[in-house]
Amino acid sequence: MVNIQRYESVEITVPVSSSLTRYYFPDLPNLRSAQVTSIELYTSDSLSSSPLTGSALISDSDLKKSFLTLYQGDLQLVYNIPLVRLNQIVAGTAQYVFDLPNVRNMVVSWVKSYVVMNSAPTSQSYQQVFAFGVYYNFGEQNMTYNNLQSQAQPNM
């Protein structure tokens, strides 16, 4: 079971007919100092389109050859975890897990983190995305709205 304190949908775009094998996360301002507690992957069996842009989700055959690497600052904390290890939704024929990995309040450097594939994605005539759900918090001292507001205002 995932304890939802905060959540954000995130996606990585795979351009039409891409021959790349490495795809970086975009800058995610809302998650820059967030303490990530869990990351979930969405498959084409679980959603018909991405929550952010409505784009098609990457194919299951391409997911099976895709791996996630996460950085915190310059430190590589997660290296090549299979993306299928992050799918908890039971739907269709997609592989799934019973529990998502608990990443224990990792502060991710998103622009350094990426998904890598063993070979280029299957050629498609439309844009696809890797779609993720990120569960996070800002630490115990920052959990209330009042605390966040008081930190944003200068002391007088």
Contacts with 47 (C-beta within 8 Å, 6 or more apart), sequence order = 57, 131
- The segments of the chain whose pLDDT lies below 50 read 93-94, 96-98, 141-151, 156
Torsion over CA: 39, 42, 47, 53 (sign): positive
Domain boundaries, the chain: 6-151
What's the pLDDT score for residue 3? Answer: 60
Tell how strand 56-57 and strand 128-137 pair up.
parallel
Distances (CA, A) of 100 to 115, 135, 149: 18, 11, 32
Place of tokens 């998650």: 31
